[in-house]
A = this chain, B = another copy of it.
Amino acid sequence: MMRVRLVVEYDGSDFAGWQVQPGRRTVQGTLEAAIARLVKSERRIVVAGAGRTDAGVHAEGMVCAFDPPRVLPLTAFVHGLNALLPEDLAVRSAELAPPDFDPRRDARGKTYRYRLWNHPVRSPLRARRCWHVRGPLDLAAMREAAAHLRGTHDFSAFRAQGCEAKTTVRTLRAVEVRGSGPELEIEVEGTAFLRFMVRSIAGTLVDVGQGRIDPARIPEILASGDRAQAGRTAPAHGLTLVAVYYGDRTKAHG
């Protein structure tokens, strides 16, 4: 039995997210269909992902794995699949993985990037990739708030309304606000994430930057565990899953 680990890039604009849903165009479903065509299988080839990105979210380094029913050279899973996949989805690399490799359970961390276009006028060339925030932003206040989010906290106040995760304690190794002109980005690196957590962080940092939330209130918002205390949920199209990290058993995304 062969287990293959793929690093996948996609423009999430026209996908209903990662996970297979009947009648919807999803990344997982599109990948599974292309793999089945490549290996000439009538059966569904299940592709396990490192996580589920929501509709509109992009990825440069999503990691996933599957067991092909027959052995092919690894390059076939790159070039062969890329010939079958649509323009907005591609395989960046393929390698052999241990037979029990689980992209989600084995992940040691992830990096996300949230992009902002902070200018009075919208930018058509950035429309699909950046959240357009018109007013001026106080970057110093955003960086102060980001510092409060770093470390290990209960992030209940920063998750989707319906999120049912049992434990809500997560560790963020980095929350950085980068840039100076109209092009800004928020980079978040952590061990694992709750649903909408990065978008809630990005929305809250923008609320801080616009003076709607005092950065000194972040510890109290975290302690409240109350979603209504934190800021907005930033729109999906600004978010990109940059990389998923693994331990010694499999290499990090490169």
Footprint of B on A, CB under 8 Å?
Answer: 9-11, 58, 60, 78-79, 82, 87-93, 120-125, 127, 129, 240
Contacts and interface: CB of A to CB of B under 8 A. Distances in A.
Contacts of A60: 125
Given A90-B121, A122-B90, A11 B127 contact: yes
25 contacts: A9-B124, A9-B125, A10-B124, A10-B125, A11-B124, A11-B125, A11-B127, A58-B125, A78-B120, A79-B121, A82-B121, A82-B122, A87-B122, A87-B124, A87-B127, A88-B124, A88-B127, A89-B124, A90-B121, A90-B123, A90-B124, A92-B121, A93-B121, A125-B129, A125-B240
A11 B126 CA distance: 9
A95 to B, nearest CB: 14
Tell me the number of copies of this protein.
Answer: 2
Contacts of A88: 124, 127
Contacts of A127: 11, 87-88
Interface majority SS (helix, strand, loop, mixed), chain A: mixed
Contacts of A9: 123-125
A10 B125 CA distance: 6
Contacts of A93: 121
A88 B122 CA distance: 10
A148 to B, nearest CB: 31
Contacts of A89: 124
Given A78-B120, A91-B121, A125-B129, 16 more contacts: A9-B123, A9-B124, A9-B125, A11-B124, A11-B125, A11-B127, A58-B125, A60-B125, A82-B121, A82-B122, A87-B124, A87-B127, A89-B124, A90-B123, A90-B124, A93-B121
A91 to B, nearest CB: 7
Residue among A82, A88, A121, A124 facing the most chain B CB atoms (10 A cut-off): A124
Which of A82, A122, A129 has the largest number of chain B CB atoms within 10 A?
Answer: A122
A140 to B, nearest CB: 26
Contacts of A78: 120-121
Contacts of A90: 121-124
